[in-house]
């Protein structure tokens, strides 16, 4: 049952005039899934309408961020405030809380996202395993981003936000708390305890279920659809969901379905790179016009971009250079020194 709560009651609380009963109602309301985001939206609205001083938001953000990063050095794979709090003196946490309140009132969405959520990111050809506080394990594949609450994960909900590809082994909770994966196309994959894989790129989202049961939804569907083990769901860019059984090869080798098929017929490297960008979420840049015009013909399978780029580098006599935010394709004859 969702506890009703008005904006006016929260504004009274923010001003320090709430009664004991009102504080209790707010605490119960915050304990329900989905209310934390609304809480901070109304806090920001109240702060904007009740300015107390003009803070240096940039300095506050950098200070808080440095404290948060320091607190995460020894438990980088566990995203929970409970663990992090053991490594910081309480006075530091008071300073962090003060900085957060400053940024919530004046920093806008960017600071709110950076403070409220923790990101796990992987680069080109990089994978990472993330162990969450509830015991769930996430295998993050290259060029992917996983976002979840920095504080309160497991207590006010188990929601994560994925861009890219990841495998999930979700731990069942005694209170049957669901675990929800949000995708950039506004879709949701909701589970209780199971093993599944989520692929979400510009061309759409796919979900493969190995064990347990999940529900998959999109804004265009009137009701969520149930998936059974051994099934694959595809969410098109228009939001329509199609569920079908895995093929025999996919059942024998669960990783086979992750293979991406590319068919090039006298396709320029520039056009092939754009297709790789869309599929793998990369920013591939061909540095030389002559190289960009070279053509590729053939059918290729690749689970990750580096597999296909390695083949293309041999075919077209080029080198792959990985930058901070780009993958550069350079002719072998180019001198980069």
| Helical (H) or strand (E) element with 93 | helix 90-106
pLDDT above 90 (res 35): no
| CA pair distance 127, 69, nearest whole angstrom | 21
Residue 6 makes CB contacts below 8 A (sequence gap 6+) with none
Among residues 207, 233, 256, which one ends one of the domains?
Answer: 256
Task: Verify that 302 and 216 share a domain, yes or no.
Answer: no
Mean local confidence (pLDDT), 119-148: 89
* Residue 316: burial class (beta carbons within 10 Å; 0-12, 13-18, 19+): middle
Task: Verify that 172 and 270 share a domain, yes or no.
Answer: no
Range of the domain at 290: 259-331
> What is the C-alpha radius of gyration for the chain, rounded to an integer number of angstroms?
23
- Reported confidence tier of residue 129, pLDDT bands at 50, 70, 90: very high
Q: Is residue 290 part of a domain?
A: yes
Q: In percent, how much of the chain has pLDDT > 70?
A: 74
| CA pair distance 190, 226, nearest whole angstrom | 10
| Whole-number pLDDT of residue 97 | 55
Task: Verify that 270 and 325 share a domain, yes or no.
Answer: yes
Q: Is residue 5 part of a domain?
A: no
| Whole-number pLDDT of residue 183 | 92
Among residues 229, 256, 283, which one ends one of the domains?
Answer: 256
């Amino acid at each position: 049952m969702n506890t009703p709560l008005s904006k006016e009651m929260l504004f009274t609380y923010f001003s320090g005039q709430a009664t004991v009963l009102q504080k209790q109602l707010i605490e119960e309301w915050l304990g329900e899934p989905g209310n934390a985001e609304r809480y901070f939206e109304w806090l920001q609205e109240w702060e904007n309408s009740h300015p107390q001083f003009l803070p240096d938001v940039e300095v506050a953000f950098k200070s808080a961020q440095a404290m948060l990063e320091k607190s995460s050095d020894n438990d980088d794979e566990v995203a929970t405030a409970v663990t992090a709090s053991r490594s910081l003196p309480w006075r530091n946490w008071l300073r962090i809380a003060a900085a957060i309140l400053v940024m919530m009132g004046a920093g806008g969405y960017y600071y709110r996202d950076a403070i409220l959520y923790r990101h796990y990111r992987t680069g080109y050809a990089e994978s990472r395993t993330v162990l969450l506080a509830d015991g769930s394990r996430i295998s993050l594949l290259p060029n992917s981003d996983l976002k979840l609450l920095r504080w309160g994960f497991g207590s006010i909900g188990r929601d994560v936000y994925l861009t890219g590809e990841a495998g999930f082994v979700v731990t069942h909770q005694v209170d049957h708390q669901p675990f929800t994966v949000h995708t950039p196309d506004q879709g949701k994959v909701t589970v209780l305890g199971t093993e599944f894989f989520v692929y979400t790129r510009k061309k759409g989202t796919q979900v493969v279920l190995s064990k347990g049961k999940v529900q998959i939804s999109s804004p265009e569907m009137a009701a969520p659809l149930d998936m059974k083990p051994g099934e694959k769901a595809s969410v098109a860019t228009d939001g329509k969901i199609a569920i079908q059984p895995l093929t025999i090869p996919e059942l024998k080798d669960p990783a086979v379905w992750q293979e991406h098929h590319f068919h090039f017929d006298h396709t320029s490297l520039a056009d092939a790179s754009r297709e790789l960008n869309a599929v793998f979420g990369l920013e591939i840049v061909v540095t030389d016009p002559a190289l960009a015009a070279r053509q590729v013909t053939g059918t290729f399978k690749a689970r990750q971009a580096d597999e296909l780029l390695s083949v293309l580098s041999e075919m077209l006599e080029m080198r792959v250079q990985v930058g901070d935010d780009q993958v550069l394709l350079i002719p072998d004859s180019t001198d980069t020194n």
